[in-house]
Amino acid sequence: MASISGISCIFLPMPRKTPSLFVHLRLKKELVEKLDEFRFTHRFESRTQAIHWLLELALSQNPKPKK
């Protein structure tokens, strides 16, 4: 425990987060509008959370791209 200006503090190690990468996407306005509607309807805190959830769902379906 440390004391700073009369305030007692306990310093704990920062929790380790899973490393993440920044991915930049360019989306059409219509798709962003659909994403925002989905996000607010399902009460996601951010677009990132909504995109994450949608990607996990889509990839869990084992999609096959049309060639």
User: Which residue shows structure tokens 């659909």?
Assistant: 34
Task: Read off the pLDDT of residues 6-34 as tens digits, 9 standing for 90 and up.
Answer: 555 566 666 667 778 888 889 999 999 99
Q: Which pLDDT belongs to residue 67?
A: 81
Q: How far apart are CA 41 and CA 38, in angstroms?
A: 5
Domain count, the chain: 1
Q: How many CB atoms lie within 10 A of CB 9?
A: 9
Q: What is the mean pLDDT of residues 41-63?
A: 94
In a domain, 66, yes or no: yes
Contact 54, 44 (CB under 8 A): no
In a domain, 6, yes or no: no
Domain that includes residue 46, residue range: 27-67
How high is the mean pLDDT of the chain? 83
Q: Which pLDDT belongs to residue 22?
A: 85
Contact 13, 5 (CB under 8 A): no
Residue 9's H or E segment, with its range, is: strand 7-9
In a domain, 7, yes or no: no
In a domain, 60, yes or no: yes
Q: Which pLDDT belongs to residue 2?
A: 46
